[in-house]
A and B are shown apart, each in its own frame.
Chain A
Amino acid sequence: MEGSGVGFSYPNDLHIAWGVMIVLYPYVTGLVAGSFVVGSLYHVFGRQELKPISRLSLVASLGFLIFAPVPLLFHLGQPMRCFNIMITPNFSSAMAAFGVIYAVYFIIVLLEIWLVFRKDIVMNARQNRGILRWFYASLALWTYDVSDESRKLDHKIVVVLAAIGIPAACVLHGYVGFMFGSVKANPYWSTPLMPVIFLTSAITSGIAMMVVLYQILMKFGGRTIEPDCVQSLCKWLWLFAILAVTLELLEIVCIAYERSEEWVVIGTLLSGKLAFSFIGIQLVFGSLIPIILLGIVVLMRPYLTNPLRNTIGFVAALFLLVQVLAMRWNVVIGGQLFSKSLMGFREAYQPGLFEKEGLGVALLIFLASFVFMAIFNRFLPMYEKKENGNGTGDGAKTGFTERREAAKSEEARG
């Protein structure tokens, strides 16, 4: 494959080394860290209004976590040697920390989920027969003690685990940012802000994912969407979106203001080859619009009906999910579009649809996490059966009047 480009690029720089998979990898790990952190707002900080998503966030975190390394495997030239990262790690490499950090975090999430769902597992083990019983019993590790004391102990451990999990999630994702931020050869990546930017946008994407998933699950499960929960999620989402976007802009503004050598190439890049995905998608469509929308939700709370708030929150969250993906794309791909000669660009990168590192595979990997969540939900439901639904008939058709009533009672409370 012969490349060409504009200006002068070092001849080896005409090939792109990191493609879609390396865009997807930080996106998925971001969702892992983000969903976990929202869940912890309930578990550690006792934000009761977030109770409805406390289990969902954990399961989502696990679902994304399981598939987070998959894009890396698809990316590696020699995937069969992947365990070299753990067998012969080079400790001066940020990437080598992956094995350890991933393993630690995996254990934390798994333990926490087990403790949170333990009662359900034991119930299921008691109610089922045959192979299912054996399955649940093994999940419960043949410990059927769900007395109040043992549940209290469980709860205490959950709080501790979640408290450890927050810094662990931050390390998990901060290190992804560090992987880029520590490449001194690339002036667009090399900034100490990078880990912080990655972290805030990860939490943004995690909360946004909760807003979307929660509403979809409630709609299809025929349950009521808790207005307080959505309101609170929107508030946090707004906060983190503002933080993330500010930091992202700050980085660019600093480079631009310093006007050092690299700005010539980065400025041209952002207003040229990356204009659509950076200015169009990341800044206007993905940041400006949702921040205004969420601002409406947060600041005009008394004037919004529940369905309206839910819809606005849903749309804003979807936009933010796209924003974070665009940001990953702009960093990973954008950072490779210019040559390290700082004098030229390579041709815009267009991933194929069906190749090994193509968009099709990327989409499948992304969707796999949701399939996992669905299967998990099949065996251990995240929500009790129609707890808040109207009970009779098809719950999915929760009446408009009912939602109005809920809205009224909400308004009454102020």
Chain B
Amino acid sequence: MEETKKTGGVTRREALGTSAKGLAGAMFVAGFGKELDVAGWLFGKDAVSKPAYDPTKHMYTFLFDISKCIGCGSCVRACERENNVPPHHFRTWIERYRVFGEDRVLVDSPNGGHDGFEPDPSGEVARKAFFVPKICNHCEFTPCVQLCPVGASYRTPDGVVLVDVKRCIGCGYCVQACPYGSRFLNPDGHVASKCTMCYHRITKGMRPTCVEMCPTGARRWGDLKKPGDPVAEILATRETHVLKPELLTKPHCFYLGMYKEVR
């Protein structure tokens, strides 16, 4: 239910924005809009002045710097709060990789890294260790969208893969189809759920919550269509990797400092 309410909230707010504009226009014609700014007072400053959001003018992408992630889990907790993610389900999560000896790899993600990570009780020292933030890759050729029988999963023109919670029948096919384990069936509402790239925020010019809350800047987010965007700059000039490239899903989530052990 929470899920429905939340996403419903996005559309409601957008609807509010439009009616605010209509109302403001009417007031302007009446001749007292400017002086009193009733609409601005009622709906907030930018409700009136904000230009309409045009999704075709953007192409968003995530960029994670593995060397900077400290596994604190702030992002996971922030996402949970922002998007009402049910317990033990994850729109984003953190994995810890530890490599011992020749090639013994230990990976864990206790409660998705929600509460951070405990030190290894054995005290054994790893040869290398690192944290990998994971999230929906917002793939360009998405298996999840391809397989959704009712077209409830879709990809927006600005590169975000979303679920229409009012149309989803909760078949779970997309959960099977996602190679990255980014989707789950929400126990509240019984529909598919996943990272929305905080679409309700980014369409208002804000950054996704996890990016906002990351204390080290390991999570970055940018717009490939914005001239001079720093993330676009890095993607154009430096070595970056994606997860499971062999599946040709064309993820829009890139990694700096990738290790070969990462799955």
Q: Tell me if A90 and B88 are in contact (CB < 8 A).
A: no
Q: Nearest Cβ in chain A — how far from B172, in angstroms?
A: 4
Please determine whether B149 and A89 come into contact, CB atoms closer than 8 angstroms: yes
| B169 x A84 contact (CB < 8 A) | yes
* Structural contact, A14 and B88, CB atoms closer than 8 A: yes
Which of A12, A75, A94 touches B183 (beta carbons < 8 Å)?
Answer: A12
Nearest B residue to A180 via CB reads: B176
Q: Least Cβ distance of B99 to chain A in Å?
A: 13
Q: Please state if A339 and B151 are interface contacts (CB–CB under 8 Å).
A: no
Closest to B112 in A: A11
Residue numbers in B under 8 Å from A11 (CB-CB): 88, 90, 93, 109, 111-112, 181
Counting CB contacts under 8 A, is A412 at the interface?
no
The answer to whether the Cβ of B222 comes within 8 Å of any Cβ in the partner chain is no
Identity of the chain A residue whose Cβ is nearest the Cβ of B114 in the assembled complex? A11
Task: With CB as the reference atom, state the residue of chain A lying closest to B108.
Answer: A8
B169: contacting residue among A2, A15, A17, A85, CB under 8 A? A85
Q: In the bound complex, how far is the Cα of B179 from the Cα of A76, in angstroms?
A: 22
> Which residue of chain A has the shortest Cβ distance to B178 in the bound complex?
A185
Taking CB as reference atom, which chain B residue is nearest A2? B88
Chain A residue nearest in CB terms to B173: A95
Given contacts A85-B150, A88-B151, A92-B146, contact A340 B180 (CB under 8 A): yes
B152 contacts across to A, CB distance below 8 A: 84
Best-buried of B90, B107, B149 by chain A (most CB within 10 Å): B149
Q: Report B111-138 residues with CB < 8 Å from chain A CB.
A: 111-112, 134
Of B93, B108, B109, B172, the most chain A CB neighbours within 10 A belong to B172
Contact with A along B175-208 (1 / 0, CB 8 A): 1111111111101011100000000000000000
* Of B109, B170, B179, B247, the contact of A77 (CB 8 Å cutoff): B170
The answer to whether the Cβ of B147 comes within 8 Å of any Cβ in the partner chain is yes
B interface footprint on A300-336 (CB within 8 Å = 1, 0 otherwise): 0000000000000000000000000000000000001
**A14, B181: Cα distance in complex, Å:** 10
Which parts of B21-40 form the interface with A (CB within 8 Å)?
Answer: none
Of B167, B180, B263, most buried by chain A (CB within 10 Å of CB) is B263
> Nearest B residue to A8 by beta-carbon distance?
B107
Whole-angstrom distance between the Cβ of A331 and the nearest chain B Cβ: 12
Please determine whether B176 and A76 come into contact, CB atoms closer than 8 angstroms.
no
| Distance of A11 Cα from B184 Cα, bound (Å) | 10
Cα A395 to Cα B203 with chains together (Å):
78
Contact status A78-B191, CB under 8 Å: yes
Given contacts A78-B190, A183-B177, contact A341 B151 (CB under 8 A): no
B148 at the interface (CB under 8 A from A): yes
Contacts of A94 in B (CB 8 A): 147
Is A18 positioned at the interface, with any CB of B under 8 Å from its CB? Answer: yes
Residues of B within 8 A of A372 (CB): none
B184, A184: Cβ atoms closer than 8 Å = no
User: How far is A183 from B143 in the complex, measured between Cα atoms in Å?
Assistant: 8
Q: Mark A76-109, 1 if CB is under 8 A from B, else 0.
A: 1111011011001110111110100000000000
Q: Which of A141-177 contact B (CB under 8 A)?
A: none
A342 CA / B105 CA spacing, docked (Å) = 13
Contact partner of A17 among B134, B147, B148, B185, CB < 8 A? B185
**B181–A13 contact, CB under 8 A?**
yes
Kindly list chain B residues whose C-beta atoms are within 8 Å of the C-beta of A182.
147
In the bound complex, what is the Cα–Cα distance between A344 and B9 (angstroms)?
A: 37
Assess whether A12 is in contact with B190, with CB atoms less than 8 Å apart.
Answer: no
A376 at the interface (CB under 8 A from B): no
Q: How far apart sit A201 and B203, CA to CA, in the bound complex (Å)? A: 51
- A interface residue count range (under 10 / 10 to 19 / 20 to 34 / 35 or more): 35 or more
What's the nearest-Cβ distance from chain B to residue A376, in Å? 31
Q: Which residues of B contact A123 (CB under 8 A)?
A: none
Given known pairs A77-B191, A186-B176, A343-B107, the reply for A93 and B149 (CB within 8 Å) is yes
Which residue of chain B lies nearest to A341 when distances are taken between CB atoms in the complex? Answer: B263
Contacts of A13 in B (CB 8 A): 181
Q: Which residues of A contact B185 (CB under 8 A)?
A: 15, 17, 77
Q: Which B residue sits closest to A92, measured CB to CB?
A: B146
Q: Is A1 engaged at the interface, CB distance under 8 Å to the other chain?
A: yes
By a CB distance below 8 angstroms, the chain B residues around A8 are 95, 106-109, 263
* A-chain residues with CB within 8 Å of residue B175 when the two chains form the complex: 12, 17
A11-B90, A14-B88, A186-B176 known; A78-B181 Cβ under 8 A = no
A391 within 8 A of B: no
B111 surroundings in chain A (CB, below 8 A):
2, 11
Q: Is the CB of A76 within 8 A of B170?
A: yes
Q: How far is the CA of A326 from the CA of B177 in the complex (A)?
A: 23
Cross-chain contact A184 with B247 (CB below 8 angstroms): yes
Task: Report the bound CA distance from A306 to B151 in whole Å.
Answer: 56
In the bound complex, residues from chain A placing their C-beta under 8 Å from that of B169 are 76-79, 81-82, 84-85
What residues of A have a CB within 8 angstroms of the CB of B149 in the complex? 84-85, 89-90, 93, 95-96, 98
B89 close to A (CB within 8 Å): yes
Within 8 Å of chain A (Cβ to Cβ): is B234? no
Query: Are the CB atoms of B176 and A89 closer together than 8 Å?
Result: no
From B89, B146, B147, B176, A18 is in contact (CB under 8 Å) with B176
- Whether B213 is near chain A, meaning CB under 8 Å from some CB there, is no
Residue among A13, A18, A75, A81 with most chain B CB within 10 A: A81
- Are B107 and A78 interface neighbours, CB within 8 A? no
CB of A46 within 8 Å of the partner chain:
no
Q: Is A3 an interface residue (CB 8 A)?
A: yes
Q: At the interface, yes or no: A134 with Cβ under 8 Å from chain B?
A: no
Inter-chain contacts of A3 with B (CB < 8 A): 88
Give chain A's interface residues, CB within 8 Å of chain B: 1-3, 8-15, 17-18, 72, 75-79, 81-82, 84-85, 88-90, 92-96, 98, 179, 182-186, 336, 339-343
Known: A88-B151, A186-B176. 6 other contacts (CB 8 A): A77-B170, A79-B169, A81-B169, A96-B149, A341-B181, A341-B263
Pull 22 A–B residue pairs with CB atoms less than 8 Å apart, ordered by A: A2-B111, A3-B88, A11-B109, A12-B90, A12-B93, A13-B181, A17-B185, A18-B176, A78-B169, A81-B168, A84-B150, A84-B152, A85-B169, A88-B151, A88-B167, A89-B150, A93-B147, A93-B148, A94-B147, A95-B149, A183-B176, A185-B178
